[in-house]
């Protein structure tokens, strides 16, 4: 009975992984359709499903070895696990921020074009400056996200 329960959690983890892949595929589709809001929502759902898969795997491990899960896990390992989870989540948040900043930069560029067409060169220059700063901030956020992922990989 106990091993059946663990198998159930492993199967559930597999279903979460498949769902995450489907959401990633849907995000690419919405990117191609130039619908960033739907693409972002699909990416968030993929992350949610990956997290669900991780939780299901942890449940299966706990069921397989209920005493070992409590006694063999050192405080250091728990801290490392939580650090990895926090780094992964922080990286995801930074990537979402970068995507939002890129969309903001795109809007500023469109505003700049409209203002230039309306003969408002000073306003267009200000919009281009805002777009440039948003692009730079997005690049910094992506760089920090990648740095967190690298730290996570190095500490496994």
Q: What's the predicted TM-score (pTM) here?
A: 0.54
Contact of 69 with 61, CB cutoff 8 Å:
yes
Q: Cα–Cα distances in Å, from 26 out to 33, 39, 118, 124, 132?
A: 10, 7, 38, 35, 30
136: tokens are 């730079």
Contact of 102 with 135, CB cutoff 8 Å:
yes
The contacts of residue 19 (CB under 8 Å, 6+ apart) are: 45, 46, 49
Confidence class for position 155, pLDDT limits 50, 70, 90: low
For residues 64 and 144, the model is more confident at 144
Distance (Å, whole) CA 69 – CA 8: 18
Domain spans of the chain?
1-73, 77-156
Sign, CA dihedral 71-77-79-81, equals negative
For residue 69, pLDDT over 60 is answered with no
Q: Cα–Cα distances in Å, from 79 out to 6, 14, 68, 86, 142?
A: 25, 26, 17, 10, 25
**What are 76-116's pLDDT values in tens digits?**
776 777 777 777 778 888 888 888 888 889 999 999 999 99
Q: How many CB atoms lie within 10 A of CB 71?
A: 9
3: tokens are 């091993």
């Amino acid at each position: 009975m106990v091993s059946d329960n663990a198998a159930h959690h492993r199967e559930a983890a597999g279903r979460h992984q498949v769902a995450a892949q489907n959401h990633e595929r849907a995000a690419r589709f919405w990117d191609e359709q130039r619908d960033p809001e739907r693409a972002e929502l699909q990416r968030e759902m993929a992350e949610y499903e990956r997290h669900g898969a991780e939780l299901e795997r942890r449940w299966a491990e706990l069921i397989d070895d209920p005493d070992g899960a409590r006694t063999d896990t050192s405080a250091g390992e728990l801290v490392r696990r939580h650090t990895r989870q926090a780094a992964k989540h922080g990286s995801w948040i930074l990537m979402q921020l970068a995507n939002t900043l890129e969309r903001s930069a795109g809007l500023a560029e469109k505003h700049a074009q409209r203002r230039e067409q309306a003969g408002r060169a000073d306003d267009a220059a200000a919009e281009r400056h805002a777009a440039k700063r948003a692009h730079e901030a997005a690049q910094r956020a992506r760089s920090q996200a990648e740095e967190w992922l690298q730290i996570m990989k190095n500490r496994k």
